[in-house]
Amino acid sequence: MKDQAGRTIDYMRISLTDRCNLRCRYCMPHDIKKIEMSQLLNYEEIVVIAKCAVELGIVNFKLTGGEPLVRKNVPVLVEMLKAIPGVKTVTMTTNGTLLSSYAAELKKAGLDGINVSLDTLDADAFAKLTGHTFPLSSVLEGIKAVQQAEIPVKLNTVNRRDLDWKTILSYAKDQHLVVRFIEMMPIGYGKDYMGTSNEILFAQIQELYGTGIPVTERKGNGPAKYYRFENYPDEIGFISAIHHKFCDTCNRIRLSSEGYLKLCLCYEQGMDLRKLLRDGSSMKEIKAQMQQAIARKPLEHCFSEKEKMTETQVMAQIGG
Ligand code: SAM
Ligand code: SF4
């Protein structure tokens, strides 16, 4: 469907839980008050909302969290979503720590792709950055398992001030993985970790790997801009929400683990779909309410005028 700005909205991020087994400093460094399990949408409720979304033309879904794989039986949900007529892709973003146990089941369930978030390849730095819960090796084993299961996998790396991008790119080169560098956004604790811009990073990568040429073909459902560098084998993606605002082509909405339909990262504005579901509204009514809410999707984010931001949740509660 189109929103008030004429943008085609065809992508929904579904957060399965606010819980996470890591404590990334820029995302959820401390425990947060956990949402009670009874307040989370169950899988049947998620499927009802996904069916309404599909009827509105939203056909690509990304499972996120917190950490989506800490929720039980995620492959079952993947299978349920893939069985909805009209669904094009179901993908996931994960910290990778639990992937080695889940990769084969996720493949069987039909998952179309996985983004693994990986910010460093130094085991000590990883422990410091993610809260000393799971070792870096668990993520690296998870990536291998996904590759063995033949699920397409990409790396997501947040552009922090002390990012060692050279090691990330050299690991990705050896493992034949596409990397996307994401600019840190001033959401929650991210405000204190804003790194250099992707523009500066791009220039540094050019110095090492030669001229970067934009890839014109559209890749994936997201805002990443991909480039090919003369002396680097794979494409490299840049998601530059801060320094190259892409709001005019934004195609996404978010569903929180509690069933709140969120329209833009910056603002709290949205709609409580769980209430509609649990009050017994029909699918037709839910769909109509979703349509009205999505039509009013804000025109742009306001990261450069932080006083206008109304979102107070941390990224782990929003789902990235
Ligand atoms: N736990 C999963 C993971 O780490 O991929 C899914 C949830 S996590 C919130 C989704 C993505 O958001 C991760 O790639 C994470 O690095 C990114 N993220 C968290 N806080 C951020 C911020 N302030 N700015 C930009 N990206 C952020
Ligand atoms: Fe957890 Fe992902 Fe946030 Fe790290 S970025 S704390 S893994 S939700």
**95 Cβ below 6 A of ligand 2:** yes
| Spatial separation of the C-alpha atoms in residues 95 and 141, rounded to whole Å | 12
Please provide the average confidence, as pLDDT, over all residues in the chain: 94
pLDDT at residue 304 is higher than 80: no
7-18 pLDDT per residue, tens: 999 999 999 999
pLDDT digits (tens, 9 = 90+) for 164-220: 999 999 999 999 999 999 999 988 888 888 878 999 999 999 999 999 999 988 777
Give the Å distance between the CA of 284 and the centre of ligand 1.
33
CA of 27 to the centre of ligand 1 (A): 7
Position of tokens 């409720």?
45
Query: What's the pTM?
Result: 0.96
**Residue 240, amino acid:** S
pLDDT at 268: 87
Contact 93, 320 (CB under 8 A): yes
Give residue-wise pLDDT tens across range 242-253.
888 889 999 999
pLDDT for res 303: 80
Nearest atom within ligand 1 for CA of residue 115: 5
Residue 91 or 266, more confident? 91
What's the pLDDT at 88? 98
Q: Indicate the top mutation candidate among 182, 315, 317 to test ligand 2's pocket, ranked by most ligand atoms within 8 A of CB.
A: 315
User: Does residue 281 surpass a pLDDT of 90?
Assistant: yes
Q: Cβ atoms within 10 A of the Cβ of 56, count?
A: 17
Q: Examine the pLDDT at 32 and tell me if it is beyond 80.
A: yes
Question: Does residue 189 contact residue 26 with C-beta atoms inside 8 Å?
Answer: yes
**What pLDDT does 305 receive?**
77
The best mutation among 18, 20, 69, 313 to test binding of ligand 2, ranked by most ligand atoms within 8 Å of the C-beta, falls on 20
Q: How confident is the model at residue 228 (pLDDT cuts 50, 70, 90)?
A: very high
**Stronger pLDDT, 50 or 310, i.e. the higher one:** 50
Nearest residue by C-alpha to atom 4 in ligand 1 = 95
Query: Per-residue pLDDT averaged across 68-92, rounded?
Result: 98
Pocket test for ligand 1, best of 93, 139, 163 (most atoms within 8 A of CB): 93
Query: Within a 10 A sphere around the Cβ of 106, how many other Cβ atoms?
Result: 25
Distance (angstroms) between ligand 1 centre and the Cα of 316 equals 7
Output the pLDDT for position 306.
75
Judged by DSSP in three states, 212 sits in strand
Binding-site residues, ligand 1, Cβ < 6 A: 20, 26-27, 64-65, 67, 93-95, 117, 156, 158, 182, 184-185, 187, 190, 315-316, 319-320
User: Which amino acid belongs to residue 131?
Assistant: G
CA distance 55 to 41: 20
Among residues 72, 158, 53, 51, the alpha carbon closest in space to that of 115 is found at 158
In the DSSP assignment, the letter for residue 93 is: E
Question: What tokens does 235 get?
Answer: 């494409």
Shortest-distance atom of ligand 1 to CA 67: 1
Burial 23-51 (b: 16+ CB within 10 A, else e): bbbbbbbeebeebeeeebbebeebbbbbb
Split at pLDDT 50, 70, 90, the class of 158 is: very high
